[in-house]
Every structure is written in structure tokens, then in C-alpha cells.
Chain A
Amino acid sequence: MPDLSPRKAGIVACSCEELAEGTVTRLAALKVLHALRPQDTVTICLPLFLAGGQGDRAFARFHPTITVDGCELRCAARATEMHSGKPAVSLVVSELLAARGMDKPEGRRRLNEAGRRAVEVLAEVLAAEVDKVLGRRGRLATTHGAEPQSRGQAACSCGSGIPVTVLSIAGQPVELVALPLVLQQFREAGRQPDEILARELLDAVKVYNLIPPQLEAVYRQAILAEYAASLEQEAAK
């Protein structure tokens, strides 16, 4: 997979409003996003996989994603796989607490003490999983023993999303997720537009987009033309 941006782990919480465990997922995710790993994580609201656009649905293909569910229904994990991409890691609060012999949380609106403890434990587990998927083993994940990362803007993908370019393919407008980042990467490598580059560009674009095999040649030429145009735009700046 091409390295298109500073790599971040995606966190998708089920955020279930019906169960205290759903509140635990949301608060633990926020703790990791805001305090424990603010520079390494990004999130998206689960419903955007249905209600959003192509850029939103590319989330789990773009970021190695950790889903956090409250119960065995596993809405976040299953819906992420169904609408976006297979999660790198799936955590379930009820299973995690049972495995550790911890009490079931209560209070979906205001967590009880067991719920607050569950948030702390889940946040530590989540932070450790973030480090693993980003290949940063060895960093202390604990909220007690380690300094949190410097606080940054909590990264929410709503409204910013992954950049999308619309190209005309066989006379039809087609959205290509992450194309601006792909082009930028090759521009920065100083590549000139030729047939070898066209194949490499297509391979990179296919990581994030479904391209019908019978249209690959058309896509290849359209993407190469877009690359040449982007070179001209850069040169004119």
C-alpha cells in the first residue's frame, strides 16, 4: 500500500446509545483520541459509512482501523467491514470485561464506577492496539505510567474526510478516493508521465477504489492525464 500521509490508526466506536457498554466505547475512544494518542489516531462516526460519501466509505481502506463494540452484536466491526473495509482489530467491551473478571458497567447516560473503570481499561487496550497496528511496539500504553502525547486537535474525519477527485471515465463522472494524495506522492518523487508510471498510478489508485477490470485501460489513461495536468498546475504556481 502506498504511504500517502502520516499514518494514523482509525478508531470506530459503536457508540451504542442503548447500552452502558456503548457509552464505554465512546468515552474510551475519546480518551485515546484526545489524550493518549492524539497524533496517531483519527475517528469517524459509524453512520457516515451509510450516510456519507465515497471519501467516508474509504476510511477503513485508508487507515488501519480498530473497531470497538459494546456487545456481541458487533455493529461497528460488521458494519465497517460491510461498508468500508475489514478492520485491523476488533474489540468487544463485554468480552474484554468478562475475560478480566470485571463488573458489568451500568448507566448508559452516566456511567457508574464499574463503567468508569471499564473506560480506563479499554482506553489502555485501545492505545496498545494503536501502537501495534502502527508498528510502534514497546511504547507504554498505560494511562497511569506514561506521559500522554502532547495534546492536539482531536481528529474527526467528519466533513474533512479523505480527498476525492471526480474524473470522466468513458463519459461518466467517477469519484476516485485519495487520488490527490496518490498524485502528490508521485510528483514529489519527481516522476514523469509515461506508461510505466501509468501502471504504478493505477496500482496505487486500486488500493482505495474498486476499478472494473474491463475498464482498467481507460482508467489508466485518465489517471495519467490527470497526473500530467497536476504537474502543469504545480509548475504554474
Chain B
Amino acid sequence: MSEPAHTHAVVVIPCSGIGKSFGTVSREAAYQLCENLCPDQARLVALSKLVLGEGEARQAVAANPTVTIDGCKRMCAAKVVRESGGTVVCERTVLEVFRRHKDLKPEGIAELNEAGLKLARVMAEEIAETVMRINAAKEGGHA
């Protein structure tokens, strides 16, 4: 019998930032990670569900290693995952990546500029390596 899908994947939770470009970058990085780079290894869960305390979302973060991607220093995603009983194995902020790539200044909230999309891609690629490492270790542990 196969296990439920959520037992295999790393859970990815971006912040729900709506007021700043950095929030949009966090969301775009999460989509690139879950849809393009690690579609079979990473699963996106909406932060709003955890704020509500929805059962399936809480179970997902309780049962799986979780990666959070926050747009600003308030670190909503990381804090809410911990409050929900989850384990954050990788806690990233857009600001931290931007500091290393100052040529990629994100602009636009509804629609990111080209630099913002590139910044999201850089971030997603960095996190993808972590996701693959986590899943490899998980599989090794089960072997």
C-alpha cells in the first residue's frame, strides 16, 4: 500500500506578503521550486491554512520537514509553522538572498520585473539543493 503523498515531500511555505515586492519574490520562488525544479519532492502548502489551523495543513507540517521562504524580517511563515507544531529545516528570507545579488532588485507586486523573477529563480535553485539533500537523507534513512 502506498503512503499518502505528504509523507514523501518536503513542505514549502512562502509568506503571504501582499504589500511588498519581496513577498511576491518569496511566492514566485516557491512556485519555481515546487512546479519546475522539484515537482516530485516539494509540495506547496498555503500559509493561510495554517493561520486558520486547518487540519490537513497542520498535519503536513507536523509530518514533514518544512522549508519556509519569507519576504520580510517579520518572518511570518517561519513563525506560523513553528506555532503549528512543524519543524523548519530550512528558513530563508528574500532579503538575505538579495544582499548577495544586489543587481537583482525586485520591483512590482502584482507582477514582478525581470530582476525580481531572476532573484526568485536564484533563490529557488539554492533551496532546491537543500530539498534534494533532505529527501536523499530521508531515502537513505529508510533504506
Query: Interface on A for B, CB 8 Å cutoff?
Result: 13-19, 22, 26-27, 29-31, 34, 43, 45-52, 73, 75-76, 78-79, 82-83, 108-109, 154, 156-159
**Interfacial chain B residues near A156, Cβ < 8 Å:** 18-20
Q: A17-B44, A51-B79 are in contact. Are A154 and B19 (CB under 8 A)?
A: yes
Residues of A within 8 A of B18 (CB): 13, 15, 26, 29-30, 43, 45, 156
Cβ-defined contact, A18 with B44, below 8 A: yes
Q: How far is the CB of B127 from chain A (nearest CB, A)?
A: 15
Q: A27, A50, A158: which contacts B19 (Cβ < 8 A)? A: A158
**What is the minimal beta-carbon distance from A34 to any residue of chain B, in angstroms?**
8
Given A13-B18, A47-B80, A154-B19, CB of A30 within 8 Å of CB of B110:
yes
Cβ of B48 and Cβ of A79 under 8 Å apart?
yes
Partner of B49 from the list A30, A51, A73 (CB cut-off 8 Å) is: A73
- Residues on A with C-beta less than 8 A from B27 are 17
**Known contacts A16-B48, A18-B44, A18-B46, A75 near B54 by CB under 8 Å:** yes
Cα–Cα, bound, A16→B44 (Å): 11
B42 contacts chain A at the CB level, 8 A cutoff: no
**Do A79 and B51 have beta carbons less than 8 Å apart?**
yes
23 A–B contacts from the bound complex (CB under 8 Å): A14-B48, A15-B16, A15-B18, A16-B49, A17-B31, A18-B49, A30-B110, A46-B16, A47-B15, A47-B47, A47-B50, A47-B76, A47-B77, A48-B76, A50-B79, A78-B52, A79-B51, A82-B52, A83-B51, A109-B28, A156-B18, A156-B19, A158-B17
Q: Could you say which residues of chain B place their CB within 8 Å of the CB of A31? A: 110
Name 18 extra pairs, CB < 8 A, besides A22-B48, A47-B50: A14-B48, A16-B48, A16-B49, A18-B46, A26-B18, A30-B18, A31-B110, A34-B110, A45-B16, A46-B51, A47-B79, A50-B83, A52-B74, A75-B52, A79-B48, A82-B52, A108-B31, A158-B19
For window 21-44 of chain B, which residues contact chain A by CB distance below 8 Å?
23, 27-28, 30-31, 35, 44
Q: Is the CB of A50 within 8 A of B51?
A: yes
Q: Are B20 and A51 in contact (CB under 8 A)?
A: no
Complex Cα distance, B49 from A76, in Å, reads 9
Q: In the docked arrangement, what's the CA distance between A157 and B76, Å? A: 14
Q: How far is the CA of A156 from the CA of B24 in the complex (A)?
A: 14
Task: Give, as a whole number of angstroms, the nearest-CB distance from A170 to chain B.
Answer: 28
Most buried by A among B30, B48, B72: B48
In the bound complex, residues from chain B placing their C-beta under 8 Å from that of A157 are: 19
A45 and B30 form a contact (CB under 8 A): no
**Residues of B108-133 contacting chain A, CB below 8 A:** 109-110
B75: A residues at CB distance < 8 A: 51
Residues of A within 8 A of B110 (CB): 27, 30-31, 34
The 8 Å CB contact of B74, one of A51, A79, A108, is A51
How many angstroms between the C-alpha atoms of A154 and B45 in the bound complex?
Answer: 27
What is the minimal beta-carbon distance from B72 to any residue of chain A, in angstroms? 7
